[in-house]
Structure 1
Amino acid sequence: MDADPVEEMSFEQALAELETIVRTLEQGSAPLDESIELYQRGDKLKRHCEARLKSAQMRIEQIALGPDGTPAGTKPFDVD
């Protein structure tokens, strides 16, 4: 399998390839050995996408409102 290194892919590239792999595996048309390789590649792509999303989320800030309801600056994004 001659594919781009996962760590060099953008989020969008990795997600598109992951979607293609999922469709291929769902169809069940690939031979067993190829299916295993696709699954392993898909796992790497999934982990890469999750890491990119987490990194982006950490950079997001939200507007903090003061007691009177007006914007008073920013604070880190809170997942909760």
Structure 2
Amino acid sequence: MSFEKALAELETIVEKLERGDVPLAESIAIYERGEALKKHCDALLKAAEAKVEKIRTDGDGNPVGTEPLDVE
């Protein structure tokens, strides 16, 4: 499932739970689905972050290569 689809479904779940008009058993089931979607979105974001690179430049501003975005 794409990040966008998972996020949209997660937003729908949050709206239903915030309204408070869902029976308890259904609330528990959709909450569990929401947790699974949250984990899926987190995994997709972490994978995307790992692919992001920053362009290194020399003293004149010319690109000379890349390096990971979060170098610690």
TM-score exceeds 0.5: yes
How far apart are 1:68 and its partner, in Å? 3.5
Distance in 2 of aligned mates of 1:24 and 1:79? 40
Matched position secondary structure for 2:46: helix
How far apart are 1:66 and its partner, in Å? 1.9
Pairs within 5 Å for 1:21-60: 21-60=13-52
Letter matched to residue 5 of structure 2: Q
Letter matched to residue 40 of structure 1: E
Cα-to-partner distance string for 1:12-62 (whole Å, 9 max, x where unaligned)? 110000000000000001000000001000000001000000001101111
Task: Give me the CA root mean square deviation.
Answer: 1.5
2:63 corresponds to 1:66: no
1:11 aligns to what? Answer: 3
| Identical-pair percentage | 58
* Divergent runs of 4+, >6 A: none
Matched position secondary structure for 2:70: coil
Given the two structures, how large is their TM-score scaled by the length of structure 1? 0.83
Distance in 1 of aligned mates of 2:68 and 2:58? 15
CA distance 1:14–1:65, change in 2 (3 Å): same
CA distance 1:47–1:79, change in 2 (3 Å): farther
